[in-house]
Amino acid sequence: MSTGATERLADQLSGTPALELRRGASLARLSTFRIGGPAELFAEVQEERALLALLAAARRAGVPFHLLGLGSNVLFPDEGVGGVVARLGGRLRAIRIRGRTVSAGGGAPLGQVARRAARAGLAGLEALSGFPSTVGGAVYMNAGSYGTEMKDVVCSVRLVTAEGGRCRKSMADLEPAYRRTNLRGGGAIVTRALFVLAPGDPAALVARIEELNARRWQALPSGQPNAGSIFRNPPGDYAGRLIEACGLKGATLGGAQVSPKHANVIVNTGGATAADVLGLMRRARDEVADRFGVVLEPEIVLAGPLADRFVT
């Protein structure tokens, strides 16, 4: 897939420091679902000023911009994604520790930050260590696990706005709630987050991380590509319980299957398409709504046109 505007954008940005561009990169290879067509233009952004240059050029050219984290909670369309798909790297993945504070780039894997902090004798991130997200993605959705949410450990964040501005905000400014902040839909990108943690014993903290991660992975299917939880838990209940109560554990469509191990996970059994996954999602949504009157909302990101296709 290619459009003249994106081609011209790629030519214009060629040679920009700290910006690596690649046409037609496979999104399936960048997603834990192993599903999706090519990115029209893939960008590895290694510094904040390169991100600003990319956003400004895309805005002027009218080219869509999509930010990719670890690819662990996203479903890409089979036809691929037009415009720019960008990922933060380089200095935007850097982790620095000073005293009780940890400064981490928005592109840094949250699990890596947690382990670095634990080895430095800083406590607070152990419960989040198994969350498969970048720091920026975890802030964006106020990720939580085992009773700890990002709002509990993040002091402030640095943002680049869709209009090209830069600012720093406290976590409270982002109005964090269950699996969401006010960053949703605004286009701002988290380029750095500052954690303030408590002192602890490094060996005990690392052991706690291993314990929690073993518990987490024991409850989830392994060995088959997936994107973790498909739906958000509705208030006072669990999406997996509702889907299982509808008898959908093990249900299949093409190469996609509702995991027999966890009903809120869809796995790629081999050759699954985005259409297969979306079809199972619609079936689960509709049957849960009919039986329980509960409307399940996707927790995974439905990229490109998939969000509209899910609704219809």
- Annotated catalytic residues are 179, 229, 299
Residue owning tokens 């709002």: 151
The Cβ-side half-sphere exposure at 31, using a 13 Å CA radius, reads 32
The beta strands (E) that lie in the chain are given as 19-26, 38-45, 65-68, 74-75, 81-88, 95-98, 101-105, 122-123, 144-145, 148-149, 154-160, 166-170, 189-196, 198-199, 226-229, 252-253, 256-258, 265-268, 301-302
What element of type H or E holds 205? helix 202-218
State how far the Cα of 78 lies from the Cα of 150, in Å rounded to an integer. Answer: 32
* 271/39 Cα distance (integer angstroms): 19
Question: Nearest-CA neighbor of 29 among 67, 61, 70?
Answer: 70
